[in-house]
Structure formats: C-alpha cells, structure tokens
Amino acid sequence: MAALKRIVNLSKSLKTMTTTSRLCCSQTSKKTYFTYVNEPSMPILDKEPCWLKTADEAIEKAELDSDQLVFVQGAAATPTELLRAMTEYGARCDVRNVRLFHMHLEGEASFAKPENAKHFRSISFFIGGNVRPAVQTGHADCIPIFLHEIPRVFNEGYIKPDIALIHVTPPDHHGYCSLGTSVDCVRSAVSNSTRIVALVNKYMPRTFGDAIIHVSHLDFAVEHHKPLPVHPVKPPSKEEQQIGKYIAENLVVDGATLQMGIGSIPDAVLSLLTSHQNLGIHSEMFSDGVVELVKKGCITNNRKTMHKGRIVGSFCVGSEKLYDFMNNNPFIGRYILYCLLFVMNMDKYHLMDFIEMLAVDYVNDPKIVAKQPNMTAINSCIEVDITGQICSDSIGTRMYSGFGGQLDFIMGAALSEDRQGKPIIALQSVTSKGESKIQPVLKSGAGVVTNRAVARYVVTEYGIASLFGKSLQQRSYELIQIAHPDHREALEKAAFARLKVMPAP
C-alpha cells in the first residue's frame, strides 16, 4: 500500500509539473523543446480542415499556382499520393516554375522527370537517388546546409512556403495528429507555410515529442491509407562485417551514446553490439538495427544525462518491424512504469522502448550532441585523402547527396564535454570498380564535408586509422595502412610526391 501511495503522489506531481509548464509556455513567446503547447500543437479554436475525398481535390483546393514555393515532408513520410496529384495537376493546368523544397524523398518523384522541368523544380536539402539525375542535368538544384540549420531557413524567412505537403496519422480523440516517422524540419516548415495539405494515413506510426500537430492547423486533409515505403535490411558484405567488427570491438564502449545512419555498415555495427550494456541512442535517424538491441536489453539509455531512458531521433526509414516498434511508443507512460518498478525495488528491470522524435535543430545541434556521454558518431563518406580531408556529398563536381548530419555529429563528438566522444568515418577501402577510396588528393571539385582538423577515426575492413594529434606524415601513414593492399604502394609514392617525405608513424 505504501508503494501504491507513492505512485499516486508521483502521478499528482507529474500532473502539477505538466500544468505549470503549460502555463509558463502560454505566458512567453520563447520556444522550448520540452513543452508542446505552442505553434502546431496548440489547437486553433473554431477551425478544422476541409476534408476531401481525393488527393487531386486537395491539390486543386490548395490553389497550386505558378511561381509558388512548396515544402514536402520526406523520408518514409513522403506524401507520395499528394506528389502524384500535384505533378498531374501541374501538367494539366500548365503551372510553371513551382519550386519544391525537401529533404530525401521516397517514391517515384515524377515531378523531377525532364518532361516536367518547366512545371516543377526540385531543390533538395539532401539529394536522394530519385532526384539525383535531375540535379546532375541542371533540372533540379540543392542547398548545401548543415542538417541542424535547415529549420532556420523557414523560421527566419529565407524560404516562405505557400503550401506544405505533409503526411500524418489520423487525429486522436483530442484532435492531435502525429508527423510519425519524419519530424526533422517539418514543424518549422508547417509553422511558416500559408496553407497545409495533409495526407492522413492509418499506417503512419504515431510518434511523440515534436511530432505532435493539432488537426486544426491543417487546411486540407485527405485520407489515403497505404503502408509506408520500406527498406528491408540487407545482409552486410564480408568487408562491411569486418568494418563493423573493428568499430564494435574497439570504439564502442558500454554506456556509449550512438549516432548512426542507414545502411549495411551501421547495421553491421549494431548487430555486433549484443554483448554491450546500457547503450543509448541520440541520432538524427535510426533504422532496424536498433530494434533488436532494444529487445536484447543492450539499449537502455540509462547512462544518458539528457533524455535519460529515451531514444532520441528525428526521422527514420526501415522495415515494417521498425514502424511497429515506433508506433505509440511514448515516454510518459513508461516513466510511470519506471517509477512503479523503482518504488517496488525492481531495479533489475530497465526501460526498453522510449522514443522521442524531436526537431532536427535540437537533435543535431553540436552543442547538444557534445553533452551526450561517450558520444560515438558513426558516419560514412565517398572518399578521403591522405591528410584526412573527407568528401561525403559529391563525386568530383557531381553532386551526389548533401551535408546531412555528418558534421553536426562529428563536431559534437569531437567537442564532447566528457572528452570521451568518438567521431568515426567508416567506408570500404575500394569502390565497386576497384578504385581506392583513400586518395592522394580528393577529386577535382570534390566537396569537403568533414575537414582534416576534425577527422578523428577512419575505419575500413583493414583497420582503424587514428588521426587526432597526428602530423600530415603520420596521417598519411595511418591511412595508407588501412587502404586496400593493391593500392598501398601507389599511395606511398603519391604521398611522397605531395608531402616530400615518406609516410611514417
């Protein structure tokens, strides 16, 4: 009974804290990431969306017109049905020069095909494969930008969308929808768009944190129930598996906070962490590899000093298993459970599945990243030169992707407050054509995303190069040692020609 009374008192305290935070939020215009009653989550009195039967009607009602700016939600939450309707409407009504601002999009992206070039121009914050050909032929463009700064372009008026196309869950009984799998910069775009058109989909996972948006903020809504795009987990190659082994066994410690992207190398790392304990997740994105580690009790988030006990992310792409894991997975209910376990002295139990989806200007803020204990940031690249210059966004002058969150987390980990951060760049030693990814110099015109002063660890299937505090001569030696054996002699000769000294430890 005593334990039960403690739980009741705790519940009352939580209710009081919540009420107080709401009052504080309503009395100030200052934004906060921990109370969500301002902006899109604040109900607008006496307003509700115009519910339409088809996406075609929604686009027509939104009055899409020439020279307008349109924001499109991305990743697994790409509103593909709205994009289809928009593309057909643009061609049918001869709408011209509509600029679309977006991150990576899933789906066909027919608006970026040559026949639609006069109607639409894609402008990516991060280039996906479906718009890459248009970028490379000049029919589309991109904005080089740190991921954590994308919300600024909307909040500070650099881009003022006429229309925002988003993808949400059905509203709950309080009228709240969720942005689901992709929060990233969506809140800032929605807050600064003239009209909001939403695809409402029962298959969208309901997530929390900054994902919550009240239905009254939607201007036009259409129900379209269809499973989200999936990226099934592919088994890693033997080279990727070896890279994962080097990282898991040498660079990830118990209690580390992890950031990683999508792909075979991050999945290989995660698959080899099953003996680790009390890992945490603070990452702009995460995928299926996280789910199994949560189920095995390896990811508890208990060593985190911020968002303790919670997985923090901003967007994700993965399989249906991942989306099921994310659906209705809040932290408040689990916090009550944690308190119950604590007062009953059941310390052996740990919290397994807190997920908080937050805006990317918070998640990726290097100052926030630096506060995470044992911050271990695992990223990849296209090529690296023998001094540690890292190219991740282009192949020579040909734009390939974007800055993304790489430097946000590399800088955050490098400047970690506990001095235990590990910024890691992982890549296979050669391309599919056998060309070395470790080069004497980067290709002409290649973009440097992570510069040599910030580079710390570079990992290939041949080992780990530790670069911090090393001279150019030492760096070239470290990097040549992890290059493919077939290229080492040529790299040594090129290093001597460039540095006028032989690489040496």
CATH number at residue 305: 3.40.1080.20
- Selection from 457, 466, 421, 460 nearest residue 253 by Cα: 421
Residue 435's Cβ-count burial label (10 Å; 0-12, 13-18, 19+) is exposed
Instruction: Say if 25 falls within a structural domain.
Output: no
Q: What does each C-alpha distance from 22 to 16, 190, 210, 215 come to in angstroms?
A: 10, 21, 15, 19
pLDDT of residue 333: 38
Rounded CA-CA distance 459/246 in Å is: 8
pLDDT of residue 335: 42
Lookup: tokens for 502:
């032989």
Q: Domain of 204?
A: 50-223
43 phi, psi to nearest 5 deg = -60, 140
pLDDT of residue 263: 81
Instruction: Say if 417 falls within a structural domain.
Output: yes
Rounded CA-CA distance 126/364 in Å is: 15
Look at the block and give the residue holding tokens 């980067």.
Answer: 442
CA angle, corner 261, sides to 418 and 326, nearest 5?
A: 95
Number of domains in the chain: 2
Together in a domain, 404 and 280: yes
Instruction: Say if 89 falls within a structural domain.
Output: yes
Instruction: Say if 20 falls within a structural domain.
Output: no
SS3 220: strand
Residue 83 CA, chain-centre distance (Å), reads 22
Instruction: Say if 484 falls within a structural domain.
Output: yes
Which of 223, 246, 278 delimits the end of a domain? 223
pLDDT of residue 39: 76
pLDDT of residue 1: 53
Which of 193, 223, 253 delimits the end of a domain? 223
CB count within 10 Å of CB 280 equals 28
pLDDT of residue 340: 47
Together in a domain, 105 and 250: no
Together in a domain, 274 and 383: yes
**Residue 389 DSSP one-character state:** -
Residue 208 CA, chain-centre distance (Å), reads 16
Is 284 a known active-site residue? yes
Together in a domain, 72 and 167: yes
Together in a domain, 371 and 426: yes
Rounded CA-CA distance 64/55 in Å is: 13
- Selection from 181, 158, 153, 159 nearest residue 169 by Cα: 181
Return the sign of the alpha-carbon dihedral for residues 427, 428, 434, 438. positive
Instruction: Say if 331 falls within a structural domain.
Output: no
CATH number at residue 139: 3.40.1080.10
Together in a domain, 385 and 282: yes
Per-residue model confidence as pLDDT tens for the chain (505 residues)? 554 455 445 444 444 433 333 333 333 334 433 333 447 988 998 899 999 999 999 999 999 999 999 999 999 999 999 999 999 999 999 999 999 999 999 999 999 999 999 999 999 999 999 999 999 999 999 999 999 999 999 999 999 999 999 999 999 999 999 999 999 999 999 999 999 999 999 999 999 999 999 999 999 999 999 999 998 888 999 999 999 999 999 999 999 999 997 788 988 999 999 999 999 999 999 989 999 999 999 999 999 999 999 999 999 999 999 999 999 987 533 444 444 444 444 444 444 448 999 999 999 999 999 999 999 999 999 999 999 999 999 999 999 999 999 999 999 999 999 999 999 999 999 999 999 999 999 999 999 999 999 999 999 999 999 999 999 999 999 999 999 999 999 999 999 999 999 999 9
Together in a domain, 163 and 278: no
pLDDT of residue 334: 45
Rounded CA-CA distance 165/101 in Å is: 10
pTM for this predicted structure: 0.88
Together in a domain, 249 and 302: yes
Q: Choosing from 81, 240, 284, 292, which is the catalytic residue?
A: 284
Reported as type and span, the H/E element at residue 195 is strand 195-200
Together in a domain, 481 and 428: yes
Together in a domain, 215 and 258: no
Together in a domain, 197 and 297: no
Q: Give yes or no for a contact between 288 and 296, defined as CB atoms under 8 angstroms apart.
A: no
